[in-house]
Amino acid sequence: MPQTSYPFWLGGVGATMAACCTHPLDLTKVRMQTMQPSAAHPSTLSILRMTVAETGFKSLYTGLSASLMRQMSYSLVRLGAYEKMKVHLSRDGPAPASHLFLAAMIAGGLGGIAGNPADILLVRMTSDSVRPAEERYNYRNAVAGLVRLVREEGVHALGRGMGTNLTRAILMNGSQVGSYDLFKQLLLRNRLPIVDYQMKDGLFLHSVASVLAGTVATTITAPADVLRSRLMAAHGKTSPVQVLTTALRNEGPRFLFKGWTPAFIRLGPNTVLMFVFFEQLKKGWRTMFPADYVL
């Protein structure tokens, strides 16, 4: 049975819409991950208050331009590539979960490569105010930051932290997008225990599946996310091994899950909003075009 083939950019638009809502939590997560080890360990709420105290409510959206650039590179590629692979894998019926997870991980790797420069800008712009004044980057916006990054550090700087970012992107897409489809299939096939309720394909199903996917993704990607943030925020040359050994010596293994709470608070709603927006965009596309339309 022919399937609808959606525009490649549709997932990027959905992710961008979600990022506009959850950016303050992304900013909080990065600041917690990149704070100096000697600093106190503030809570998510205290960092949000500290951020608002800088220049008011607009401080919560510091680095938003980099976040939008990231979604329209990283998320556009990872979601678009996954959808294309899923259509191909499902031509003869529902694809096995293992195939979907593998497709999601490959698509995540492609997205990680495409979005690495924007990731560097996002980490630097959101963590700038918690740095000493002499170590701040002071990028006006993402485009200006991209120009300065290349001019001051060379083209090779666009690949800074690529290893950890690629690892994180592969783990993220596999655990978030792959598990979302798996949870959707399980919830559609099985009645919910206790309440004895059979879910239908709709907003409630999308919300429940995306909350579960966000929980899985936050836990699996936490260590790679912390290492990525610290590598991208660092001045001068450093390696993942140096960052890891120094942090383990000074902070212990718990540092690998530093910022988990704001990461979950951010990724949970972000995952819900991203998939809800994405599903609604796909629904609108199906309404505009026949079900067997092939792009």
| 77-116 pLDDT tens trace | 999 999 999 988 888 877 888 899 999 999 999 999 999 9
State the pTM of this model.
0.79
Q: Per mean pLDDT, which range of 105-114, 193-202, 210-219 is the poorest? A: 193-202
- Per-residue pLDDT band for 294 (boundaries 50, 70, 90) equals very low
pLDDT score, position 80: 95
In whole angstroms, give the CA distance from residue 5 to residue 19: 24
Residue-averaged pLDDT of the chain: 85
pLDDT score, position 295: 41
pLDDT score, position 291: 54
What is the amino acid identity at position 4?
T
pLDDT above 70 covers a percentage of the chain that reads: 92
What is the amino acid identity at position 93?
G
Q: At 253, list the tokens.
A: 């293994």
Q: pLDDT, tens digit, for every residue of 28-65?
A: 878 877 776 555 566 778 888 888 888 788 888 999 99
Domain locations along the chain: 10-278
Residue 4 has pLDDT above 70, yes or no: no
Tell me which DSSP letter residue 190 carries.
Answer: S
Q: Provide the H-helix boundaries in 128-161.
A: 142-153
Residue 293 has pLDDT above 70, yes or no: no
Residue 13 has pLDDT above 90, yes or no: yes
In whole angstroms, give the CA distance from residue 147 to residue 163: 22
pLDDT above 90 covers a percentage of the chain that reads: 39
CATH no. of 10-278: 1.50.40.10
- Specify whether the CB–CB gap between 187 and 245 falls below 8 A: no
Residue 72 has pLDDT above 90, yes or no: yes
- Per-residue pLDDT band for 152 (boundaries 50, 70, 90) equals very high
What stretch of H or E contains 123?
helix 97-127
